[in-house]
Amino acid sequence: MNDLTAIIAGRGVLPVHLARTLAAQGAPFLVAEIEGAGFAASAEPGWTVEPFALERLALLFDMLHDRGVTRVVLAGGLTRPRLEPERIDPKTAQLLPRILPALGQGDDATLRAVIALFEDEGLTVVGADAVAPDLLPAPGVQTYVQPSQADMGDADRAARIVATLGAADVGQGAVVAQGLCLAVETLPGTDAMLDWVAQVAGACRPDPNGARGVFYKAPKPEQDRRVDLPAIGPATVEAAHRAGLAGIVIEAGGVMILDAEATRARADALDLFLWVRSP
């Protein structure tokens, strides 16, 4: 691989995983860190890290071209930005009419607009799984704990709910117990949803001794899978355990597992199942 790859790095461990993968492959790369993302603290010797501000997006494009970047991968979390007008440079100001309308819509619309900007600059946008295919696990139950028939029924119900949510560009996850939807993922994200379930949802289960429920996660039906592909990790397992759930179900081929070995080990330790479910 001779193409120079730029990792557009937001928060979290995914950009670090991609950088380590490319380094292990001997593939040339640089990291463009979104201001405040915190990537630099995890950077290893020899990595090139260039910070940038969203208000100066056009200057990022100039830097990528100057360095000879041919493809980019967008990775990591990003809070919906509040742009500071006084920081916007003239070239970036010309891009705003293409971005601002999308910011008022869902995440998918915003990300599609961002992808279009990179592509118009002649850059190839690839997904994180194209750089690190190991992030997508094979179908099957990953843990020694297996889902019950009731859990499988709850997963089916949750999958239908998430498909409906995703079609409206709302969220990528839901919690279902005993056939009832206890919570759905919205803008605050997975952690906020599972924290809410931990606080109040215990009283919502009709049978206190029945199925404890599942957390189901999948990409939106029409989303561009090169960006915002959902992911889980050890912290997700911890949050599902605090919520009193029996396990986690993810769509095969559509949800990444970050630090897969640690994630499976933590699920085993907490007696939760982790099921990679075929659509």
Task: Tell me the per-residue pLDDT of 259-272, one tens digit each, with 9 for 90 and over.
Answer: 999 999 999 999 99
Q: How far is CA 146 from CA 40, 75, 112, 271, in A?
A: 40, 31, 38, 10
The CATH architecture assigned to 4-132 reads 3-Layer(aba) Sandwich (3.40)
Q: Using pLDDT thresholds of 50, 70 and 90, give the confidence band for residue 1.
A: very low
> Which amino acid, 229?
L
* Number of other CB atoms surrounding residue 258 within 10 Å: 19
pLDDT per position as a tens digit, 164-189: 998 887 889 999 999 999 999 998 88
For the 136-277 domain, the top CATH level (class) is alpha beta
Q: What are the residue ranges of CATH 3.40.50.20 in the chain?
A: 4-132
Average pLDDT of 234-262? 96
DSSP one-letter code for 40: G
CB 148 within 8 A of CB 274: no
Strands 231-232 and 214-217: unpaired
**Measured CA angle at 77 (ends 158, 68), to 5 deg:** 130
Q: What is the CA radius of gyration of the chain?
A: 20
The span from the CA of 102 to the CA of 275, in Å, is 34
Average pLDDT of 108-119? 82
pLDDT per position as a tens digit, 134-161: 999 999 999 999 999 999 999 999 999 9
Res 153: pLDDT: 97
Q: Where are the alpha helices (DSSP H) in 7-56?
A: 14-25
Average pLDDT of 117-141? 95
The span from the CA of 163 to the CA of 172, in Å, is 8
Average pLDDT of every residue of the chain: 90
Q: How far is CA 31 from CA 7, 40, 125, 244, in A?
A: 5, 9, 14, 38
How far is CA 279 from its chain centroid? 18
The span from the CA of 39 to the CA of 206, in Å, is 45
Average pLDDT of 112-138? 93
Average pLDDT of 6-15? 92
Work out the percent of the chain whose per-residue pLDDT is above 90. 65
The span from the CA of 185 to the CA of 229, in Å, is 15
Q: Using pLDDT thresholds of 50, 70 and 90, give the confidence band for residue 108.
A: low
Q: Using pLDDT thresholds of 50, 70 and 90, give the confidence band for residue 244.
A: very high
Q: What are the residue ranges of CATH 3.40.140.80 in the chain?
A: 136-277
Lowest-pLDDT range, 20-34, 38-52, 172-186? 38-52
Residue 273 has pLDDT above 50, yes or no: yes
